[in-house]
Amino acid sequence: MSGYPEYMQESLRLVEKTRPERIGKAFPFMKTEEKQKILKDWHPDFKEGTKRMLKIGPSKGQLMPNEVVDILESHPLIGPGDIDLSDIAYDVDVLIIGAGGAGMSAALLAQESGLDIDRILMVQKLRLGDANSKMSQGGIQAADGVDDSPTRHYLDIMGGGRFTNNPDLVEILVKDGPNVIKWHESLGVMYDKNPDGAMKVESGGGTSRKRMHSCKDYTGLEITRVLLDEFLNREIPYLEFTPVAELITDEMGQVAGAVLWDMDSDEYLVARAKSTVLATGGFGRLHIQGYATTNHYGSTADGVVLAYHVGASLRDLDSTQFHPTGAAFPEQIVGQLCTEALRGRGSQPVNKHGELFVHPLETRDVESSAYIRECYERDNGIVTPTGMRGVWLDTPLIDIIHGPGTAEREFSAMNRMFGKFNIDIRKEPMLVFPTLHYQNGGVEINTRCESNIPGLFAAGEVCGGIHGKNRLMGNSQLDLYVFGRRVGVFTAERAKKARVGKLTLNHIDRYERWLAEAGIKTDRRAPLLLPEYRGKKTLEHQLKLL
Amino acid sequence: MGMDESGMITIYVMGKKHRVPADLTIMKAMEYAGHQFRRGAGCRGGFCGACSTIYRKKGSYKLQGALACQKMVEDEMYIAQIPFSPAEKKTYNVDELKADANTFLEYYPEIARCLCCNTCTKACPQDIKVMDYVQAALRGDIQEAAKLSFDCLSCGLCAVRCPAEIVPYNIGQLARRLYSKYVMGPTEHVLKRASEVEEGRFDDEISGLKSLDKAELQKLYEARDMKV
């Protein structure tokens, strides 16, 4: 029985009909000029009226999505007078904000680098491990194959990022890739392997070799739960449900900790730290241009806002990653991730006539643009009952190419997600459309993960520069561990010599001045901490009595 | 009650009645009804286990488990979230473990109390054969325990239902780490490449690429051979 409505059946029959002739068919990769044109014409980044220039601060003049400018041109959540900075609840060498892949790696390496566990504090807005890191499905890149090299990986990344990446960060990423996989295995991460014991690897969009390592389609889940288990084994102190409301600076202009906010009691707590690490993730829950997102509930770009309040430079926030294959049907899972590994294993994007219209493994920016063009210029999409458009992702090809049982064995998350709605992806295609996936830009860092403000470090999705204007699949999962580990080492090193001065919140006054001088009048406040999904009626009648 | 013309049904959140659209997940229905989650919401995509929920349909004796972000609301559903299970995780040094049944008994001796009642399996929102992997661990079949437990999200529903007070997801986590580290072992070509990098084998090549201007680099990029 089909999981799709009657009116889609004719198109599904065409997909089935053309399937045999599409198997093994090579659709040519686009040339540079074609890529530039399709991006300009169809990628959401280039859509007019969706961005504006930031009016305040060190990155003034940068073009960013309206949703990002909105939270940067907002009042801080607290005023300088709200907090008694002499009442210090935690006094540590390293304060790590965020407990996803980057934060966990930082904590483990800070401890391994010689810090006593009591000199480390991890704070997390939601639960330990609540992060986009855990939701990564398809894989992690590392150039450890015999026909591959870090040099080749470097070239793939630079080209994929349209040569806008920071080369020094890319060099570190590709060289440390094999070492990260080695580290994971030493901790007990279960990577997929071939019968001969070698890593089972696949292609991703824009990779010139098969270097995607996977743990079924639960790659991020498997890696982060092992790191979490190890973190708990080492008994490093942590606070859950305790986001950061504002960073703290000192009279020397260093970042010197943070004002924490206990989500259960609403009380604030002052944490003083020699080094503060932003590992807060990305901005999917800002729903740039109204797009649905693959992202975690907590992905509200808090780290970018906190960093900007203290004067940290930002970069590449004009570019947003839209993942080509977000679910487009049924309505209940719209925007959720359908891993790129499905295409790595042979699934093809197909229009309503059953025609393959783009190479399945173009880089994500180009691939997404091609799907949008197919739906909105060529009118070859399939319209859903809610009026959304999508293209087919022909997943039954996986079992045809690799043998029966492959899709069930390798894609249990995908089978589960669609199976709940009676869509058997082994027999029927998925309906997909691009979805908001990743914050390409962010806080600017150097190779030591330092921002331009002393004492403030960053790692993971909150940073910009590694992926330039477009990230390749499997490279964010890698960057979490490469730069998370580094930040642990460098903050431990800094603990030996850094001195914290008198704590202040003077940067809040300065920020308010910037807003006033730019003539920005708003009642917006940031960081957001949580997205707002409550019903309209509730919000209209809200009355805070307690 | 049933669904009305506008597609609304009745649910009870912690006993309190709400009319909500029938085509929502439990999570979205609770938000529709005015809840803003602090606890009990995570990835919203079935990958994290933050939104563990139990429910009972009116007129039914059956208490069922689900992830709120994955389960659709049904008419006359009584819902309570269990976003945390007070389970004890033992600490260990993974480098000093042995990959055998005694390790499980040493750290989690309560697994010997398993009644084989299969309540854990019935409670699992991922349809994992929980009892089977607990039994596999008990007899020292680490590969089986690791593989059967692989899709676990540690949502905790098995642990809160187990009459023997076992925490199955902790057993699964230990099994997978043991399997990877001691049964599968490290991968030779990964170790080899990591040491080649450490010896500086790729430094000159990459420095060479870094010294090129954009046009030269772009030429190399376009000319690279693709093995996909």
Give the other-Cβ count within 10 Å of A492's Cβ: 22
pLDDT at B51: 97
| Structure token digits, residue A427 | 């027999």
Q: What is the DSSP string of A220-260?
A: HHHHHHHHHHHHHHTT--EESS--EEEEEEETTS-EEEEEE
Of B93, B188, B217, the CB nearest to A158: B217
Q: Are residues B145 and B66 in the same domain?
A: no
Q: Is residue B47 domain-resident?
A: yes
ipTM of the complex model: 0.98
How far is the CA of A13 from the CAs of A262, A432, B202, in angstroms?
55, 17, 51
- Residue B2 has a pLDDT of 81
A190 touches chain B (CB under 8 A): yes
Please check whether residues B75 and B113 belong to one and the same domain: no
Quick check: B180 and A29 CB within 8 A?
no
pLDDT for the residue A254: 98
What percentage of chain B has pLDDT greater than the value 70? 100
Helices A101-112 & A219-233, crossing angle to 10 degrees? 30
Candidate from A198, A203, A294 with C-beta closest to B189: A198
Q: For residue A137, list chain B residues with Cβ-Cβ distance below 8 A.
A: 47
In-domain check, residue B148: yes
Cα(B59)–Cα(B57) distance, integer angstroms? 6
Which residue is closest to A186 within chain B, CA to CA? B181
A362 interface with B at CB cutoff 8 Å: no
Same structural domain for residues B109 and B53?
A: no
- Do residues B171 and B193 both lie within one domain? no
In the sheet with A212-213, reading across from the earlier edge strand, the strands are: A140-141, A212-213, A201-202
* Listed residues B23, B50, B81: the one ending a domain: B81
**Omega within 30 of 0 (cis) for the link into A527:** yes
B159, B166 contact by CB (below 8 A): yes
Residue tagged active-site, from A119, A211, A315, A343: A343
Per the structure, the count of domains in chain B is 3
Whole domain around residue B218: which residue ranges? 188-223
Q: Is residue B1 part of a domain?
A: no
Q: Is A343 a catalytic residue?
A: yes
Cis peptide before A150 (omega within 30 of 0): no
* Mean pLDDT computed over B46-56: 97
| pLDDT one-digit tens code per residue, B71-86 | 999 999 999 999 999 9
Same structural domain for residues B143 and B158? yes
Residue B200: C-alpha distances to residues A13, B107, B194, B197, B206 (Å): 55, 43, 10, 5, 10
- State whether B141 and B174 are in the same domain: yes
| A126 interaction partners in chain B (CB closer than 8 Å) | 38-39, 41-42, 50
User: One-letter amino acid identity for A191?
Assistant: Y
Can you tell me the distance from the alpha carbon of B65 to that of A243, in angstroms, rounded to the nearest whole number?
29
Q: Do both B75 and B140 map to the same domain?
A: no
Residue where a domain terminates, one of B32, B50, B81:
B81
Task: Select from B30, B44, B224 the residue whose CB has the most chain A CBs within 10 Å, as the one to mutate to test that interface.
Answer: B44
Instruction: Look at A210 and B198 and tell me if their CB atoms are within 8 Å.
Output: no
| Partner-chain contact A158 B209, CB within 8 Å | yes
pLDDT number for residue A538: 87
Residue position matching structure tokens 């996977």: A214
For B53-76, what is the mean pLDDT? 96
Is there a contact between A287 and A436 (Cβ–Cβ < 8 Å)? yes
Q: Which of A145, A155, A294 has the CB atom closest to B45's CB atom?
A: A294
Taking CB atoms and an 8 Å limit, are B36 and A294 in contact across chains? no
Asked whether residue B3 is domain-assigned, the answer is no
Burial B55-79 (b: 16+ CB within 10 A, else e): bbeeeeeeebbbbbbbbbbeebbbb
- Judged against a pLDDT cut of 90, whether residue B141 lies above it is answered with yes
Domain contains B177: yes
Q: Is A208 close to B225, i.e. CB distance below 8 A? A: yes
**B177 with B114, same domain?**
yes
Whether B170 and B118 map to the same domain: the answer is yes
The answer on B114 and B74 residing in a single domain is: no
Cβ of A134 and B176 within 8 Å? no
Selecting from A181, A203, A412 the residue whose C-beta is nearest the C-beta of B151 gives: A412
Element at A348 (helix H, strand E): strand A348-350
Kindly state whether A181 is in contact with chain B, defined as any CB-CB distance less than 8 angstroms. yes
Is A426 assigned a catalytic role? no
Residue A203, SS3 per DSSP: coil
* Sequence-distant contacts of B124-130: CB under 8 A, at least 24 apart: B124/B65, B124/B157, B124/B158, B125/B52, B125/B65, B125/B66, B125/B67, B125/B70, B125/B71, B125/B153, B125/B155, B125/B157, B126/A416, B126/B151, B126/B152, B126/B153, B126/B155, B127/A416, B128/B152, B130/B158, B130/B168
What is the SS3 string spanning B45-82?
A: CCCCCCCEEEEEECCCCCCEEEECCCCECCCCEEEEEC
**For residue B57, what is the domain's CATH number?**
3.10.20.740
Q: Which residues of A touch B154 (CB under 8 A)?
A: 225
Q: Which residues in chain A touch residue B173, judged by CB atoms under 8 angstroms apart?
A: 225-226, 229
Domain residue extents for chain A: 6-30+321-436, 80-319+440-504
Listed as ranges, residues in chain A with pLDDT below 50 are none
Confidence of residue B1 (pLDDT cuts 50, 70, 90): low
Asked if residue B117 is part of any domain, the answer here is yes
Could you tell me if B43 and A130 are in contact, meaning their C-beta atoms sit under 8 angstroms apart?
yes
Which residues in chain A are closer than 8 Å to B178, comparing Cβ atoms? Answer: 188
Between vectors from CA B124 to CA B121 and to CA B129, what angle results, nearest 5°?
Answer: 40
Residue B164 forms part of a structural domain: yes
- Regarding whether B170 and B138 lie in a shared domain, the answer is yes
Residues of B in contact with A538 (CB under 8 A): 33-34
Q: Which of residues 415-454 of A touch B (CB under 8 A)?
A: 416-417, 420
pLDDT confidence of residue B148: 98
Q: Does domain A80-319+440-504 have CATH number 3.50.50.60?
A: yes
Q: Does A371 touch chain B (CB under 8 A)?
A: no
Same domain, B180 and B98: yes
Residue A336 touches partner B, C-beta closer than 8 Å: yes
Which architecture characterizes domain A6-30+321-436 according to CATH?
Answer: Alpha-Beta Complex (3.90)
Residue in A closest to B42 by C-alpha: A297
Fill in the DSSP letter of residue A88.
E
DSSP code at position A204: -
* CATH code, domain carrying B101: 1.10.1060.10
Identify the residue among B27, B127, B179, B190 best suited for mutation to test binding to A, counting A beta carbons within 10 A and taking the highest. Answer: B190
How far, in Å, CA of A134 to CA of B98, rounded?
28
Mark yes or no for CB contact B198/A222 under 8 Å. Answer: no
Annotated catalytic residue, options A323, A373, A389, A507: A323
Q: Which of A127, A190, A232 to mutate to test the interface with B (most CBs of B within 10 A)?
A: A190
pLDDT score recorded for residue A453: 98
Which of A:292-321 have CB within 8 Å of B?
Answer: 294, 296-297
Q: What is the DSSP letter of A82?
A: G
Residue at B56 is within a domain: yes
d(CA A34, CA A365): 13
Question: Alpha carbon of B82 to those of A236, B11, B50, B132, B138: distances in Å?
Answer: 26, 17, 9, 24, 28
